[in-house]
């Protein structure tokens, strides 16, 4: 199944189809011509690292493919990131060049910066003869400390996630139209809006969160990828009858939302768990086999087990650490945290899970300090660092607290140095880091709870809610 030839350029493979590639827009031949034109205009050596900073658009998809055709490595950043966050990625990935959507250009400080909209649209390029295990993308994930970690994936990995999760769980057809709210800079969105539709000769309807509902209707989307928060919001809206497959990831899907969606649309949402480290979803069951509230069984090609701290397998029903392995496993870019994530060849995802007697996996909690809110991974430490720059903040601690709409929200506990409005602190954070990370709840207190050794007791704050 995953026996790829030793020489492989994933972009070339993805473009080998006929028919419509971009819903209501370019054919595969037109997309290939755009991608070729961009590849030619990049003037890069094989292995060059190219930053791609753009919302989900047809042009961004052409650029992503063009970078790979030219033998480059795509380093895509989330469109909402601010300059200081992008700077960290640029430094860590040692980016050589950037391709940037005009509207976001001000945030990108890279010497050689090409504006996406100014790149040529016609041309021909002989795809670079890359190896299947040449690096194709470096996908950044926010670490618990706020220091982004780069996950390296090869050309063959890009096809492997299509040929495992998408092929075995979703059964895509060339007549399908894929769309989703996550940016292609997030590997969940990369699969949804680029890899999966193009691997199976289907069409993609690139969109962004505010336009999602309109896109579903105007492009007659059949296959939707988004996070539980968006599914909950879409429950209130009229939906097109074209939809037949819905995928949720990014945070656990509550059984109530899954059941309400089934009642409204007749579709059981495929709830998956994946990670940037593993590239895409590694546990998920086809809709016909789903159990509401569980993310299903390991995707064919992957293995998963529940382990204790000594990596011993725990029996069904017991809660432990989720360990997974498969064809797309984690390789961090020059990062010592590799050894904490990968043990004995198994990837430890940072989630506590249990497995039932039928082999279905049930999420219990995160085992690290990441806050998962509306599908976004947010480092509390990064939000703390932004808040601490405010002159009226003496001390603060940021935790995730349960929330009906977003699963969890970011809550800041602040010891003020001077009187300050909550709204002023929220705006201050939004101006410094990606706005989705701002603390939706802020509470003031006289002192942070600490252990005798002076460590902030975040668990106490989490329990206070």
List residues binding ligand 3SK (CB under 6 A).
Answer: 187-188, 249-250, 273-276, 280-281
> Is 187 or 223 the residue whose CB approaches ligand 3SK more closely?
187
Minimum CB distance to ligand 3SK, residue 270 (Å)? 11
**Integer Cα distance of 419 and 426 in angstroms:** 14
> Is 165 or 261 the residue whose CB approaches ligand 3SK more closely?
165
**Integer Cα distance of 368 and 331 in angstroms:** 19
Minimum CB distance to ligand 3SK, residue 276 (Å)? 5
> Is 73 or 324 the residue whose CB approaches ligand 3SK more closely?
324
**Integer Cα distance of 272 and 279 in angstroms:** 13
**Neighbour tally for 216: CB within 10 Å:** 25
Minimum CB distance to ligand 3SK, residue 182 (Å)? 8
Minimum CB distance to ligand 3SK, residue 186 (Å)? 7
Among candidate residues 115, 108, 85, 110, the one with its CA nearest the CA of residue 95: 110
> Is 132 or 192 the residue whose CB approaches ligand 3SK more closely?
192
Minimum CB distance to ligand 3SK, residue 3 (Å)? 24
Minimum CB distance to ligand 3SK, residue 118 (Å)? 31
Instruction: Extract long-range pairs of 242-247: CB within 8 Å, 24+ residues apart.
Output: 242/177, 242/216, 243/216, 243/267, 245/170, 245/176, 245/270, 245/287, 246/270, 247/170, 247/180, 247/192, 247/223, 247/272, 247/281, 247/284
> Is 17 or 232 the residue whose CB approaches ligand 3SK more closely?
232
First-to-last alpha carbon distance for the chain, in angstroms, is: 48
In the sheet that holds 177-180, the strands lie side by side as 203-204, 177-180, 223-226, 245-248, 270-271
Beta bridge partners of 270: 247
Minimum CB distance to ligand 3SK, residue 337 (Å)? 16
> Is 26 or 188 the residue whose CB approaches ligand 3SK more closely?
188
> Is 66 or 274 the residue whose CB approaches ligand 3SK more closely?
274
> Is 215 or 349 the residue whose CB approaches ligand 3SK more closely?
349
Chain residue at closest Cβ approach to ligand 3SK = 274
> Is 219 or 276 the residue whose CB approaches ligand 3SK more closely?
276
> Is 182 or 380 the residue whose CB approaches ligand 3SK more closely?
182
């Amino acid at each position: 199944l995953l026996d790829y030839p030793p020489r492989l350029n994933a972009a070339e493979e993805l473009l080998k189809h006929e028919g419509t590639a971009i819903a209501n827009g370019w054919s595969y031949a037109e997309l290939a011509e755009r991608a070729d034109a961009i590849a030619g205009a990049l003037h890069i050596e094989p292995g060059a690292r190219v930053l791609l900073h753009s919302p989900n658009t047809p042009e961004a998809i052409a650029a992503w493919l063009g970078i790979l055709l030219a033998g480059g490595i795509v380093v895509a950043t989330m469109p909402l990131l601010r300059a200081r966050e992008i700077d960290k990625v640029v430094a860590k990935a040692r980016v050589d060049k950037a391709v940037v959507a005009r509207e976001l250009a001000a945030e990108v400080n890279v010497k050689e910066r090409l504006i996406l909209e100014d790149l040529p649209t016609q041309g021909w390029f002989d795809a670079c003869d890359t190896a299947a295990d040449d690096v194709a993308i470096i996908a950044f994930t926010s670490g618990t400390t706020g220091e982004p970690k780069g996950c390296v994936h090869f050309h063959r990995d890009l096809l492997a996630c299509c040929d495992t999760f998408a092929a075995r769980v979703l059964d895509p057809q060339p007549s399908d139209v894929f769309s989703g709210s996550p940016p292609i800079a997030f590997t969940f969105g990369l699969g949804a809006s680029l890899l999966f539709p193009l691997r199976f000769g289907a069409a993609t309807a690139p969109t962004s969160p505010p336009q999602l509902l309109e896109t579903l209707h105007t492009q007659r989307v059949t296959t939707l990828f988004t996070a539980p928060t968006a599914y909950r919001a879409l429950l209130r809206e009229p939906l097109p009858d074209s939809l037949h497959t819905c995928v949720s990831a990014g945070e656990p899907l509550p059984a109530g939302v899954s059941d309400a969606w089934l009642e409204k649309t007749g579709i059981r949402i495929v709830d998956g768990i994946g990670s940037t480290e593993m590239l895409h979803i590694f546990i998920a069951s086809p809709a016909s086999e789903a159990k509401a509230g569980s993310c299903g069984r390991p995707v064919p090609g992957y293995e998963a087990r529940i382990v204790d701290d000594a990596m011993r397998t725990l029996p069904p029903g017991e809660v432990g650490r989720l360990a997974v392995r498969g064809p797309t496993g984690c390789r961090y870019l020059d990062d010592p945290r590799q050894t904490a994530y990968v043990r004995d060849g198994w990837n430890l995802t940072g989630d506590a899970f249990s497995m039932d007697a039928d082999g279905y996996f049930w999420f219990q909690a995160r085992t690290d300090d990441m806050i998962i809110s509306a599908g976004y991974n947010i480092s509390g430490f990064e939000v703390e660092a932004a808040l601490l720059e405010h002159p009226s903040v003496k001390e603060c601690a940021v935790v995730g607290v349960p929330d009906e709409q977003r699963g969890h929200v970011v809550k800041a506990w602040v010891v003020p140095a001077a009187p300050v409005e909550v709204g002023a602190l929220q705006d201050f954070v939004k101006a410094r880091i990606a706005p989705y990370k701002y603390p939706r709840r802020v509470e003031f207190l006289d002192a942070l709870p600490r252990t005798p050794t002076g460590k902030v007791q975040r668990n106490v704050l989490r329990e206070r809610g």
